[in-house]
Amino acid sequence: MVQLEQMISHLNIGAAGEVLRPHWEASLSSRPMPLPAFLTEKGLAHNAELCGLDADAISVLETIRQQIVQDEHLIQLAWHCHNLLYTYTDYEELQQWPCLSERFGDSHGAFYLIVATSMVPLVEEKHRELGVDPQITQATCKQVSAFAQNYKRMADSIGIPLRQLFWLRHYPAGRLFRIGRMEYMIKSFAGKIQVYRHKETAQTVALCDAGVDFNEHGFIDGQKAWCSSLQMESGKVIGQPISPKGFAERRSTELDLSQWKCVLQPGDSVLDMHIPAGGGMQPWKCRDSMAAAASFFTHMFPDVNLNAIVCNSWIFNSQLEEIPLSSDNLVQFQRELYLFPVSSQGNDGLWFIFFQDPFDPATAPQDTSLQRSVAAFLAQGNQWRSGGMFFLLDDLRHFGTQHYRSQYAAAGNDNHV
C-alpha cells in the first residue's frame, strides 16, 4: 500500500502533491490488481485509438505506460487520478495537479493524457445503456484528441491541458455527444433574450430581456448607454429588437400576441452546442451536424421539448467580419444564424486561440493565421467580444439562405451595424 506521503516524496513533487489528498485512502482500497485495465497494453491501445490520437502520440503514451507499470507509486497515482476525474466528480482541484516532469522529463504531459483516455470504457458502457450508435460513441471520445491538439499548440508535446480535464466528465455521464463537427448537450437556455415567431409568416424576431445594460453599439461589455425593457400589455409585447447580426437596437417594437408567439426564452430546454478544436468549420459541415443533432436528441430524449440550438462563444463574435482570416468559414456560418449579444469581459475565448492564461499580447504565439489576425485586431485597440447564437430547429431547411438576416431586412428593420 503506497501512502500519499511516500508517493509525494518518491516523485519529488513536494507540497504540490497535497491536492491529491482527497479520496486517496478510498483509491488505495479500490485499486484493481494487478493493474487497472487502462494501464494494460491492450486497454491503452483501445482507449487511445477511440480517443482519436495519432500513431506518434500513441507511441509516446505506450512508452510512458511501460514506465508506469514498473512503479507501484505511479500505478497507484494513475488509478487515483482516474478516480478523482471520473468517480469523485465533485473534486475540484484537477487544474492544480502536480507537474511530473521530474519523473517523465519532456513527456510528462503523457501521464495525465493516459488518465484522460481512461474515460473510454465508461463512455462505452453509458452509451450502450442508452442505446447510442457506436459511431457516435467513437466521435464523442475524440474530444480527448482535440484537447491533445490544444496541448500540442500550447506546449509542443504530448499531453492534455489540465484546465480542460473537468469537461471530460460530461461524457461518461451521457450528457454530451459529438454529432458530426460539433458536440451538443441539453441545457436550460441562459441567453438574455426572448424570441418571437409570427404565426403565419414564421418571421422570427429576438427581443432583449428586461434590465440589460447595453453600450452605444448594442453590445454588453459593462458600459451603459441604455437599459432594455420588456413589457406585456394589452395583448402586446413591447421591447427592443436584436438584429440577427448580433447587436441590440435602441428602439422599441410592438408585437401583437394574437399574431406572434414566444418560441424561446430563458429557462427553455435547448441544444447547447460546443465546438471542438480541429478547424474545418465549413458551413455544410455545421449544417449537417445541426440537422443530425436535432434528430439524435429528438429520438434519444423524446420527452424533452427542444426548439433551438444555441451557443455562446468567441466564434460568434461579430467582430470576425472585420478580421481577415484564411478562410471565411466562420463568417459564412455566422450569417446563417441569429446572433445576439452576450456579456463580454474583453478576453472571452482568447485562451482557445492563444492558449495563454492570462492573455499577454507581448508573448502571445503568432504561429497560425488565426493567431496573427486576432492579435493584430487587438493591437489596433479593439475591445474583444464574445457572441451568442440561436437557430430554431424548424428552420433547418432554410440553412444556406441567410434566413434570419433576409427576413429581418425584408420586414424593413434597420439592419446596419
Ligand X SMILES: CC(C)(COP(=O)(O)OP(=O)(O)OC[C@H]1O[C@@H](n2cnc3c(N)ncnc32)[C@H](O)[C@@H]1OP(=O)(O)O)[C@@H](O)C(=O)NCCC(=O)NCCS
Cα pseudo-dihedral 108, 109, 115, 121, rounded to 10 = -130
Which CB sits closer to ligand X, 307 or 317?
A: 317
Which CB sits closer to ligand X, 314 or 408?
A: 314
Which CB sits closer to ligand X, 163 or 250?
A: 163
Nearest distance in Å: CB 316, ligand X:
9
Nearest distance in Å: CB 393, ligand X:
22
Which CB sits closer to ligand X, 280 or 302?
A: 280
| Cα 51 to Cα 30: distance, rounded to the nearest angstrom | 25
Which has the closest alpha carbon to 345: 312, 311, 375?
312
Nearest distance in Å: CB 246, ligand X:
16
Q: How many CB atoms lie within 10 A of CB 299?
A: 9
Task: Name residues whose C-beta falls within 8 Å of residue 224's C-beta, 6 or more positions apart in sequence.
Answer: 213, 214, 215
Nearest distance in Å: CB 5, ligand X:
39
Nearest distance in Å: CB 371, ligand X:
5
Partners of 79 in the beta sheet? none
Residue with the shortest CB distance to ligand X: 279
Nearest distance in Å: CB 290, ligand X:
15
Which has the closest alpha carbon to 116: 185, 52, 24, 180?
52
Which CB sits closer to ligand X, 262 or 277?
A: 277
Task: Name residues whose C-beta falls within 8 Å of residue 134's C-beta, 6 or more positions apart in sequence.
Answer: 127
353 φ/ψ angles, rounded to the nearest 5 degrees: -105, -40
| Cα 212 to Cα 240: distance, rounded to the nearest angstrom | 11
| Cα 293 to Cα 291: distance, rounded to the nearest angstrom | 5
**Is residue 29 classed as helix, strand or coil in its secondary structure?**
helix
Nearest distance in Å: CB 355, ligand X:
7
| Cα 164 to Cα 355: distance, rounded to the nearest angstrom | 11
User: C-alpha 23: how far from its chain's center?
Assistant: 28
Which CB sits closer to ligand X, 374 or 393?
A: 374
Nearest distance in Å: CB 366, ligand X:
10
Which CB sits closer to ligand X, 87 or 332?
A: 332
Binding residues vs ligand X (CB under 6 A): 275, 277-281, 313-315, 326-327, 329-330, 349, 352-353, 368-371
Which has the closest alpha carbon to 385: 325, 320, 293, 336?
320
Which CB sits closer to ligand X, 257 or 325?
A: 325
| Cα 391 to Cα 399: distance, rounded to the nearest angstrom | 9
Nearest distance in Å: CB 126, ligand X:
24
Nearest distance in Å: CB 363, ligand X:
15
The 10 Å CB-count burial string (b at 16+, else e) for 72-82 is: ebbbbbbbbbb
Partners of 206 in the beta sheet? 195, 242
Task: Name residues whose C-beta falls within 8 Å of residue 115's C-beta, 6 or more positions apart in sequence.
Answer: 38, 78, 81, 82, 85
Which CB sits closer to ligand X, 3 or 368?
A: 368
| Cα 396 to Cα 191: distance, rounded to the nearest angstrom | 21
Which CB sits closer to ligand X, 28 or 281?
A: 281
